[in-house]
Amino acid sequence: MRPEDIVFATVMLPLLGASLAFCAKILPKGRIAGVVEYAGALVGLGLPPLVLILLFPVVFSGQSVSGVVGQWFVGVGITFRFDALAWLVNMLGYTIGAAAWVYSLGAGPKGPAFTGVFLIQTAALSATIMTTDLFNLFVCLEIMGITSYVLIPTSRKPGATLASFSYLMVSASAMVFFLLGTYGFYRLTGALSYEGISSGLQAISSSDTMLSIVSLALLVSAIAIRVAVMPLYGWLPDAHALAPHAVSAVLSGVLIKTPLFALSRILYLFPFGMEVGELMGIAGGLTAIVGVVIALSQEDAKRLLAYHSISQIGYVVAAWGMAISLGVDTPAGTSLMVAAFLHAFYHALFKGLLFLSVGTTVDMAKERNVYVLRDGIGKLRDAGEKIPVTFIGFVVGALAISAIPPLNGFVSKTAITYAMKGSLSYYLLSMAAVGTVASFIKLSRIYWPTRKRGSLHLETGVSLGTGSNPQSKAHGLVARLTAQSALAVLCIAGGLAAPHILTIVGTLLSRGGTNSAVPPTLYSTDNLLKTGATTLGGILLFFIATSKIGSRVLHTIRNRPRSFQGLFVSFSLGTAFLVAFLVVGKFL
Amino acid sequence: MVERVLLLCLLLIGFWGVVAKKNIIKKIFGLNILNAAAVMLFILEGNRIGTEAPILESGLAQVVDPIPQALMLTAIVIGVCVTALALALAVHLYQITGSFDIDTIRERVKDEA
């Protein structure tokens, strides 16, 4: 079997699965419809990882599969490229996608329509990272967007519909500007494939440089909205906090990272790509710290997690941007890119786990406020969990995000800070790490026991008695716990097997088949001391934050005005600033 | 040149509608105007090298660039999908809150949560 023949399976299989799921929707409800739906999910989420395993030897040896979709001529058809980057992002997407879908069997939203839309989203993710055609990227991003506008309101919360609407408006408007950027490049070069455009741009006159700068800025800011980097993050907290837990896990695990890595393909090739990377790297560092400060102020458990997604994507963007500004073929650039991907992947694992475990807890307790909800373990036990798997999942996730060894978060955060030691972002990220520890101490309070257990026990017991039949509930419990344990195991394994994983990812991302990344020293005294200092700082910050003055400051941050218009103002200002930065960089 | 200026006006009107209008249905109109401006810009671009429709017949020489037209067909389809979805969300918001005004919706949604 030639690799050319099977690369498209990663896009086509989920679409096939989605069509099976929609067939299940028109069948009368019953056993057959269920079997067809599950078969669709198996085809869409189970088979593509096998295809990826088959493709591993190809990408590991430094080769890539590229060509034109449908055997058209170069210059007319859509070009694609399946390389190590595409392989890694696909792996990330399918791991989290499968875990989230299994979880959704237990906690909802259930049904063939959900499965179908979910699978289309997975296909779009895979296509986004493979495409090397600007207009095709537009289409893929729109499909990804449309499926998330559909999936967010499936939680049936009123706020989720509003969040989805705001996201739709800001993202669809930004995509029009993406289209204008595409127009600019097509006008300048007459090409749409990345390589065609970049070779065309070599020949343009200096008077056209301005148009290419503006076009690039439009593309980058439209994608930056999806990535939710500062200052374009305004849509994310509501959408991620109010979506169903399984969808939240995918949104913040996969959906905000895929466009970022797809953007790196553009920035590698286009002029001014390095400068854009530099600016986005700094924006990433700022995002990390602003995100964590706002997260610390939140009282809604899931919204706290959503702001942490912004903060953690800041880490990824900081490393990613610096990698691009250094040049990805230099050893330093490659090690930063490895660190960025590793953190994206590990963040997807532990944030997915946190969304699922905290989501389960707030569902069982029917209370989302961090200041009110207590005794989460007791609530889970009342809901039928003999062993507190959900609690263990939370602990693993929280320790991982706070970068406590030997969990995976420690590995990726150390890899990032090791590679960027001494730069401005390094200090920003170190401060953000302190805030992360503090806010997770705050969040862990939802599991603290209370004295008045008896009365609470009675209440939950009554409300559970009126639930659906016990058999389907047990079934749901198994699905939920399986998904959470799988992610928890992956978090621990990702930490323990770190040296091997670093080597593999390093080899994959060095374009030549040999590992040119500088391996970080993980368990040096320095790093362990730093972790200890960060943790102590976090505990200290937690006590400051719970003091009287601290709570007043946090209250002010939490209740800062947020408006629909603000999303557009920040988009316009962000784009203008990017253009100004590039122009000043060119003429000075 | 005058076409481009007009298209810029159309683009700005659309953007203004999305940002400044309080009524969410009007915001969706604004999004459509914005989209239409981008589509027409591409069509105008294809017009630079010829004016005939790009349907292959013998004796046609001055055809427009067909690629922008193909692209814009796709973009229009996507625009229709987004509009349909936005309207569905708007109807749902109206059912929940009884209003199309974005500020009122925000307040009432906050009360429900």
Closest partner CB to B31 (pick from A150, A169, A187): A169
- pLDDT, greater one: A352 or B60: A352
Residue type, A433: A
* Model pLDDT, residue A467: 40
For A169-225, the pLDDT digits (tens) are: 999 999 999 999 999 999 888 888 898 898 888 888 777 888 899 999 999 999 998
Q: How many CA atoms lie within 13 A of A81 on its CB side?
A: 16
CATH of the domain at B80: 1.10.287.3510
Beta carbons of B67 and A161 less than 8 Å apart: no
Chain B positions touching A156 (Cβ under 8 A) are: none
How many Cα atoms within 13 Å fall on the side-chain side of residue A213?
Answer: 19
Asked if A212 and A191 count as a contact pair (C-beta separation under 8 A), the reply is no
Q: Over 90: is that where the pLDDT of A555 sits?
A: no
Given a cut of 70, whether residue A513 has pLDDT beyond it is: no
The mean pLDDT of A388-410, rounded to a whole number, is: 84
Structural domains of chain B, count: 1
Q: Which of B19, B38, B110 sits opposite A180 (nearest CB)?
A: B38
Instruction: Closest CB to A162: pick one of B19, B75, B109.
Output: B109
Instruction: Identify the band that residue A438 occupies on the pLDDT scale cut at 50, 70 and 90.
Output: confident
Please give the model's pTM, rounded to 2 decimal places: 0.89
Contacting residues of A for B41, CB less than 8 Å apart: 180, 183
Chain A residues with CB inside 8 Å of B31's CB? 169, 172-173, 176
Judge whether residue A464 has pLDDT over 70.
no
Domain boundaries along the sequence of chain A: 272-517
Inform me whether the pLDDT recorded for A356 exceeds 50.
yes
Residue A463 has pLDDT above 50, yes or no: no
* pLDDT tens column, A222-258: 999 888 887 888 888 888 888 898 899 999 889 999 9
pLDDT of residue A19: 93
What average pLDDT does range A33-44 have in this prediction?
A: 90
Top residue of B92, B96, B111, B112 to mutate, by most chain A CBs within 10 Å, is: B92
Where residue A1 falls among pLDDT bands split at 50, 70, 90? low
B81 CB within 8 Å of a chain A CB: yes
d(CA A319, CA A418): 11
Judged against a pLDDT cut of 50, whether residue A565 lies above it is answered with yes
Q: What is the pLDDT of residue B113?
A: 57
Residue A229: C-alpha distances to residues A234, A259, A273, A586 (Å): 9, 12, 17, 24
Top residue of B7, B8, B16, B18 to mutate, by most chain A CBs within 10 Å, is B18
Q: How far apart are CA A54 and CA A300, in angstroms?
A: 43
Q: Which residue has the higher pLDDT, A385 or A484?
A: A484
pLDDT exceeds 60 at position A265: yes
Query: Which residues 6+ apart lie within 8 Å of A186 measured at CB?
Result: A134, A192, B42, B45, B67, B68
- The model's pLDDT over B36-87, given as tens digits with 9 standing for 90+, comes to 999 999 888 888 777 777 777 776 777 888 888 889 999 999 999 999 999 9
Cis peptide before A109 (omega within 30 of 0): yes
pLDDT above 70 (res A144): yes
Are A162 and B31 in contact (CB < 8 Å)?
Answer: no
Residue B70 vs residues A76, B47, B66, B67: alpha-carbon distances, Å: 11, 13, 6, 5
The verdict on B12 touching A (C-beta cutoff 8 Å) is no
**Which one of A168, A565, A569 has the shortest CB-CB distance to B85?**
A168
Residue B85 with chain A: CB contacts under 8 Å: 146, 149-150, 168
- Write down the pLDDT at residue B6: 93
Residue B68 Cα, gap to closest chain A Cα (Å): 9
What is the mean pLDDT of the segment spanning A540-546?
83
Facing B15 at nearest CB: one of A159, A168, A173? A173
Q: Which of A150, A165, A117, A88 is nearest to A21 (CA)?
A: A117
Nearest to B89 among A153, A186, A568 (CB): A153
pLDDT above 50 for A456: no
Residue A537 has pLDDT above 90, yes or no: no
Is the pLDDT confidence value at A8 over 90? no
- Per-residue confidence (pLDDT) for residue A523, from 0 to 100: 78
Q: Which of A526, A551, A472, A579 is nearest to A215 (CA)?
A: A579
For residue A222, give the H/E element and its range: helix A209-227
Give A192's contacts in chain B (Cβ within 8 Å).
Answer: 67
Q: What is the domain range of residue B38? A: 2-51+59-112
**What pLDDT band is residue A472 in, cutting at 50, 70 and 90?**
low
- Give contacts of B13 with chain A, Cβ < 8 Å: none
pLDDT on residue A462: 36
Candidates A117, A161, A235, partner chain B, best to mutate (most B CBs within 10 A): A161
pLDDT per position as a tens digit, A63-104:
888 888 877 877 778 888 888 889 999 999 999 999 999 888
CA distance A264 to A518: 20
**Tens digits of residue pLDDT in B8-44:** 999 999 999 998 889 999 999 999 999 999 999 988 8
Transcribe A162-199 into DSSP letters.
Answer: HHHHHHHHHHHHHHHHHHHHHHHHHHHHS--BHHHHHH
- How far apart (Å, rounded) are the C-alpha atoms in residues B113 and B103? 16
